[in-house]
Chain A
Amino acid sequence: MKALAARRHHRNAPVVVTLLALLTTGGLYAALAPGTAHAAEPTANDIAAGGKLFQANCSTCHGPAAGGTASGPSLVGVGAAAVDFQVSTGRMPMAASGPQVIAKPPTFDATQTAELAAYVASLGAGPAVPTAEQVDPSKGDQATGMALFRTNCAMCHNAVGAGGALSQGKFAPPLANATPTVIYEAMLTGPQSMPVFNNNNITPQEKRDVIAYLVAQRSNATSVNDLGAFGPVSEGLWAWVLGIGTLIGCAVWIGAKSS
């Protein structure tokens, strides 16, 4: 310790300390950072566990070998990304039939979801779950993302992802609470009514730009209340109810006799 104390004033000391601090922080971050379950290659155990979960929860509709039945499509070749999207958003297992399958609190935890994904991925090649880096909004360019989102997505999901109507009761859901991974998977796999935006159409880098744009929209309101970002209909409603309503209230006060 004495030796250490003596070298405290060495001219290289600040550099050493800084390096040490950086190493410690980096190491701690590596150890404590939220692990990405999909980063590791699935093991045979994962696939087996996924298979069991599948038989118990999914095979009624998708068939015992995931080959599809009248009530559910084949899952061979849909890939881990599709499973992760459907299961982690709670869309699968499906609760009730309707115009479209809706998101709800997920039935399976992250591990189970990964196991299911591993099982389905083992049945045939398909898109994999994106890595944390692939969906990192800070690595995307939101201006490019905006241009892509406006061309490919805004007509259904609204200009800032507030959602919109499709035909026959179907709808494009709002994207405010969708995680970057889920947004990426949706583009890649084209769930339900949504078309597929494969990597030839929107490249992986461009997908990250789209994610960067969408994440930025979550804190992008320029006033206290953005009225849901639904456009002129909600603005008109507020102009009538709050604007004209308040002003008529004031007019009644002005026209009333004072007591």
Chain B
Amino acid sequence: MSAHDSTPHDSGKDVVVHTPDGLPDRFSNPGHPEHHLRRSDQDPRANKRAELQVVGLFLISVIGTIGFLVAYFTVTPAGTPSSIRNSNLLLGLGMFFGLMGIGLAAVHWAKSLMNDHEKSEERHELRSPEPVRVQAVDVIKEGVADSAIGRRGVLKGAMISALALFPLSIVVPLIGNVGGNWNVSTLKHTMWKKGTRLTIDPTGRPVKASDLTIGSVFHIIPEGLDTTAQPLEEKAKAIVLLIRLDPRDLKIAPDRVGWSYDGIIAYSKICTHVGCPVALYEQQTHHLLCPCHQSTFDVADGAKVVFGPAKRPLPQLPITVDSEGYLVAQSDFHEPVGPSFWERLK
């Protein structure tokens, strides 16, 4: 390896095949282009200037890092947004100058002061030469012969069995425990049952039918959610949107008569697409929009899908009022809530 202009065996030129008419078949590689001198190679003043620039850049880095330390010790983030902002800005700028100074200095040094003669290095084919391949095969053959594995079938079978079985001692306990109780049927039920009061998320105030005016939307959790063992898991299935429409706007399917109360209707808030909370209620169009993938459900018409990637309507929670006038569930949802899965109808 050396400067290419002094390497006789590697001129970078190709071997040229000539056609019968005297002209070559293809153009030949003209070889390395001439080296051009930089300003700093020819002018000592330019060279000196470049050197000073590199020194200056390193100094900027030193100042930046000192600035970072000063900011660290003097600017205290005291909890207010502005103090956090100032601390972050000053530390970040100090770090920026500290790093950028080094980076620019090193590159500038390499570009303008270091030797910029291109050099050329030979490549060698990666494949092993044929004799080496032969030797490799021989080595393996020798090893196989030494172990005599080819002739001892039972031994081979026993070894393979042992090796194949031992990972089970790791995999079985892992799979056994990693999925909790593995009771996937809990996906199909929520904590709503007959008589569970509808309460406001997150305060837990119970809701009376008279609390809802037309056009209202209440985000609802079941009463007693906080006292369950895993409130977030229950909440992830049980959340409900409670909406009051003008009863004249509501189209009620024959099998759902009595599920709503005086224009007040409750739907699962979990999208039937992939499970985001569907929460954007447009009270004029009665459309519910999911902000994640824009599935749109028509609240007035059984929460059927009118646009987007969901297929199924949002499950409806049958509701009524109890003796004190509070809204309560008649039962759990009549179908699993949330995203579709293989056995949801089984």
A residues adjacent to B (C-beta < 8 A) = 147, 151-152, 155-156, 164, 166-167, 170, 172, 190, 192-198, 200-201, 219-224, 253-254, 257-259
Contact = CB atoms under 8 A, between A and B. Distances in A.
Given A155-B279, A258-B116, A259-B38, 16 more contacts: A151-B202, A151-B219, A156-B279, A156-B291, A167-B289, A193-B284, A194-B283, A195-B215, A196-B283, A198-B212, A198-B213, A198-B216, A201-B216, A224-B85, A257-B116, A258-B111
Interface in B290-323: 291, 294, 296, 307
Given A219-B81, A221-B85, A254-B111, A195 B38 contact: no
A223 B81 CA distance: 9
A167 B288 CA distance: 9
A195 to B, nearest CB: 4
B51 to A, nearest CB: 13
Interface centre among A155, A194, A221, by most B CB within 10 Å?
Answer: A155
Interface in B186-201: 200-201
Contact of A166 (B200, B216, B282): B282
B217 interface: yes
Given A147-B202, A254-B107, A156 B218 contact: no
B3 to A, nearest CB: 16
B291 A155 contact: yes
Mostly helix, strand, loop or mixed at chain A's interface? loop
A202 B282 CA distance: 18
A118 to B, nearest CB: 23
B109 to A, nearest CB: 11
B97 interface: no
Nearest to A200: B211
Given A166-B289, A258-B38, A195 B281 contact: yes
B112 interface: yes
The 8 A-B pairs of least Cβ separation, nearest first, read A200-B211, A155-B279, A193-B282, A195-B217, A196-B215, A258-B111, A195-B283, A196-B216
Contacts of B120: none
A205 B327 CA distance: 24
A192 B291 contact: no
Contact of B283 (A190, A200, A221, A259): A190
A155 B39 CA distance: 61
A190 B284 CA distance: 10
16 contacts: A152-B219, A156-B280, A193-B282, A193-B285, A196-B213, A200-B207, A201-B200, A201-B216, A219-B82, A221-B81, A222-B81, A223-B88, A254-B107, A257-B36, A259-B38, A259-B39
Nearest to B288: A167
Nearest to B82: A219
Contacts of A151: 201-202, 219
A164 B294 CA distance: 12
B280 A155 contact: yes
A218 B85 CA distance: 14
Interface residues of B, number: 43
Nearest to A197: B216
B277 interface: yes
A37 B253 CA distance: 50
Contacts of A170: 282
Contacts of B88: 222-223
A145 to B, nearest CB: 12
Interface string B70-95: 00000000000110110011000000
Nearest to A154: B279
B40 A167 contact: no
Nearest to B110: A254
A258 B110 CA distance: 10
Contacts of B200: 201
B273 interface: no
A224 B116 contact: no
Nearest to A219: B81
Contact of A201 (B211, B285, B307): B211
Given A195-B215, A254-B107, A167 B294 contact: yes
Interface in B248-282: 277, 279-282
Contacts of A201: 200, 211-212, 216, 218
A167 B213 contact: no
B237 interface: no
A239 B110 CA distance: 28
Contacts of B281: 195
A6 to B, nearest CB: 48
A259 B279 CA distance: 61
Nearest to A194: B283
Contacts of A193: 282-285
B141 to A, nearest CB: 50
